[in-house]
Amino acid sequence: DQQVKQNSPSLSVQEGRISILNCDYTNSMFDYFLWYKKYPAEGPTFLISISSIKDKNEDGRFTVFLNKSAKHLSLHIVPSQPGDSAVYFCAGGTDKLIFGTGTRLQVFP
């Protein structure tokens, strides 16, 4: 049972444009969500989080939107940079984190 789904395994975006990474979940008990970024052969690094009582959280170029009625969240990166090329995982949290399968973002010049 995949409680957190990232249906797009990959995304390619031109430098300077917006990257939108999507995540769907089924567990209505999640009370917070996080996005992690991962480079090959390294551990994930925390990017941004959002509480389930919020619908938006912004940190610099990164904004996370939460639509609880649709059980959907998205990560917007504006403007996208080549250094953003990585795998992005969303995760839903209760007493533990449940991770999605990841989306590989490639930002090209």
- Which parts of this chain interact with another protein (CB under 8 A)? 4, 6, 9, 31-34, 36, 41-46, 49-51, 89, 91, 93-102
Q: Which CB atom, from 14 or from 45, has the smaller least distance to another protein?
A: 45
Among 58, 57, 54, 47, residue whose Cα is nearest residue 68: 54
For residue 99, the minimal CB distance to another protein (Å) is 4
In 30-102, beta strands by DSSP E: 32-38, 45-51, 56-59, 62-67, 72-77, 86-93, 97-99
Q: What is the C-alpha separation between 90 and 60, in angstroms, rounded? A: 18
User: In angstroms, what is the minimal distance from the CB of 72 to another protein?
Assistant: 17
CB closer to another protein, 14 vs 67:
67
Q: Report residue 48 as tokens.
A: 């941004």
Q: Which is nearer to another protein, 33 or 75 (CB)?
A: 33
